[in-house]
Amino acid sequence: MEFKEVFDHDSTYFVEAMYIYKNSFPVRERASIEELKQRFEKKEEILHIGILNGHIIVFGLILVFKNPEFLLFDYFAVKESQRNKGHGAFFLKYLFKVLNLEKQEKFMLFELEHPNFGTDRQLRRQRVNFYKRFGVKELKNVNYFLPSFETTSEKFKPLEMILMIYPITERQKLTRTLLRKMIFSIYVQLYNQSEKSKFVLDVVNNIPDKIEIG
């Protein structure tokens, strides 16, 4: 498999990645293609892909935040016909190597569906364990919720999630203050939540003083 970063949202690679994207995530969990293109143009989002036999089989979209400076693993998916073949693991190894987060002393956050809720709990737990294999740590006592991108129906309520983080080292330690700033930035800049909304303040203010990481 060949890996590369995509720089042009008009390229065939971008189009192929968006096809996998639309077929991998429900409406309530995905931004519009136009919104992704706008972020791409502003260099707020970067796209890495894995290519096999001339076609994309895996992609990762990473959001870049400036204040505070950190990354969010926005979307990651393997083409349906290529799943359970180890491609996702190879891609993640490549991504962590090329991003070189430890040397840059940057954190990357991951949003995952909470394995204690929903009807597909086993699958959700498998996803969490997949990331843990690569050193991604779970923020075990942080209550986090994903606002819905679907706003036309009241049935789409915030989704229970867990946050994970990479890397955690002796030099890179996570503090309550920094995590509050990062979550606040995600809600306001990415999900267009009001800075003063009860939803945002409840999540941010309930982050514990001592964060359990594991």
The model's pTM: 0.92
The pLDDT-based confidence of 158 (bands split at 50, 70, 90) is: confident
Could you give the CA distance from residue 6 to residue 65 in angstroms, rounded to a whole number? 19
Q: Which domain holds residue 142?
A: 101-214
Average pLDDT, the chain: 92
Choosing from 99, 130, 145, the residue where a domain stops is: 99
End-to-end CA distance of the chain: 31
3-state helix, strand, coil in the chain (%, to 5): 35, 25, 40
pLDDT tens readout for residues 163-199: 999 998 877 789 999 999 999 999 999 998 999 999 9
Which two tokens mark 54?
A: 């001339």
Q: What are phi and psi of 86, to 5 degrees?
A: 90, 0
42 & 107 share domain? no
Shared-domain flag, residues 194 and 126: yes
Does residue 50 sit in the same domain as residue 79? yes
Taking 60 as the threshold, does the pLDDT of residue 155 lie above it? no
8 A C-beta contact, residue 188 and residue 203: no
Return all residues near 168 (Cβ < 8 A) that are at least 6 apart: 137, 174, 213
Kindly state the tokens that stand for 149: 């991108």
Q: What is the CATH number of the domain that holds 42?
A: 3.40.630.30
pLDDT over 80 at 1, yes or no = yes
